[in-house]
Amino acid sequence: MKAVTWQGRRNVSVDNVPDPILQEDNDAIIEVTSTAICGSDLHLYEVLGPYMDAGDIIGHEPMGRVVEAGPTSGLAVGDRVVVPFTIACGSCWMCDRRLYSQCEITQVREQGSGARLFGYSRLYGSVPGAQAQYLRVPHADFGPVKVGEELPDHRYLFLSDVLPTAWQAVRYADVQPGETLAVFGLGPIGQMAARIGLHLGARVFGIDPIPERREMASRHGVEVFDHHKDTNDEIRDVTEGRGPDGVVDAVGMEAHGSPIAKAAHTAVGMLPDPLGRTLMEHAGIDRLAALHSSIDLVRRGGTISLSGVYGGQASPLPMLTLFDKQVQLRMGQANVKAWIDDLLPLVEDPSDPLGVDDLVTHRLPIDTAPEAYKMFQEKTDGCIKVVLDPQA
Ligand X SMILES: NC(=O)c1ccc[n+]([C@@H]2O[C@H](COP(=O)([O-])OP(=O)(O)OC[C@H]3O[C@@H](n4cnc5c(N)ncnc54)[C@H](O)[C@@H]3O)[C@@H](O)[C@H]2O)c1
Name the nearest CA neighbour of 60 among 43, 46, 41. Answer: 41
Q: Which of 103, 157, 192, 280 binds Zn ion (CB under 5 A)?
A: 103
Chosen from Zn ion, ligand X, none, partner binding at 42 (C-beta under 5 to 8 Å by type): ligand X
**What letter does residue 279 receive in the DSSP assignment?**
I
Residue 89: which of Zn ion, ligand X, none does it interact with, CB under 5 to 8 A by kind? Zn ion
What are the Cα distances from residue 163, in Å, to 175, 198, 242, 327?
A: 17, 14, 29, 25
184, 205, 339, 373: residue in contact with ligand X (rule CB under 6 A): 184
Distance, CA of 174 to CA of 199 (rounded, Å) = 14
- Specify the residue, 213 or 325, whose C-beta has the smaller distance to ligand X: 213
Listed residue (141, 140, 120) closest to 131, CA to CA: 120
User: Which residue from 2, 43, 116, 299 is in contact with ligand X, where contact means CB under 6 A?
Assistant: 43
Q: Compute the least distance from the CB of residue 124 to ligand X, in Å.
A: 11
- Tell me: does residue 213 bind ligand X (CB under 6 A): yes
Q: Based on the shown chain and the rule CB under 6 A, indicate whether residue 122 belongs to the binding site for ligand X.
A: no
Q: For residue 137, list its beta bridge partners.
A: 28
CB of residue 334 to ligand X, shortest distance in Å? 4
Nearest distance, CB of residue 360 and ligand X, angstroms: 12
The three-class DSSP label of residue 261 is: helix
Site for ligand X contains 334 (CB under 6 A): yes
Cβ(160)–Cβ(61) under 8 Å? Answer: yes
Q: Say whether 374 sits in a helix, a strand or coil.
A: helix
Which of 123, 175, 210, 386 touches ligand X by CB under 6 A? 210
Residue among 235 and 386 whose Cβ is closer to Zn ion: 386
The per-type count for the chain, helices as H runs and strands as E runs, is 13, 15
- 207 interacts with ligand X by CB under 6 A: yes
The whole-angstrom separation of Cα 63 and Cα 84 is 9
Query: Between 137 and 207, whose beta carbon lies closer to ligand X?
Result: 207
Q: How far is the CB of 191 from Zn ion (least distance, A)?
A: 13
Of 49-57, 151-159, 173-181, 254-262, the segment contacting ligand X by CB under 6 A is: 254-262
Report how far residue 390's alpha carbon sits from residue 383's, in angstroms, rounded to the nearest whole number. Answer: 19
- Angle, to 10 degrees, between the axis of helix 211-219 and the axis of helix 188-199? 20
* Distance between CA atoms of residues 252 and 255, nearest Å: 6
Stretch that binds ligand X, among 23-31, 139-147, 188-196, 273-281 (CB under 6 A): 188-196
Least distance between ligand X and beta carbon 51 (Å): 14
* Residue 120, binding choice from ligand X, Zn ion, none, Cβ under 5 to 8 Å by partner class: none
Measured distance CA(81)–CA(75) in Å, rounded: 9
Position 52, amino acid: M
Contact residues for Zn ion, defined by CB under 5 A: 38, 40, 61, 88-89, 92, 95, 103, 105, 161
Contact residues for ligand X, defined by CB under 6 A: 38-40, 42-43, 161, 165, 184-190, 207-210, 213, 227, 250-252, 255-257, 289-290, 307-309, 333-334
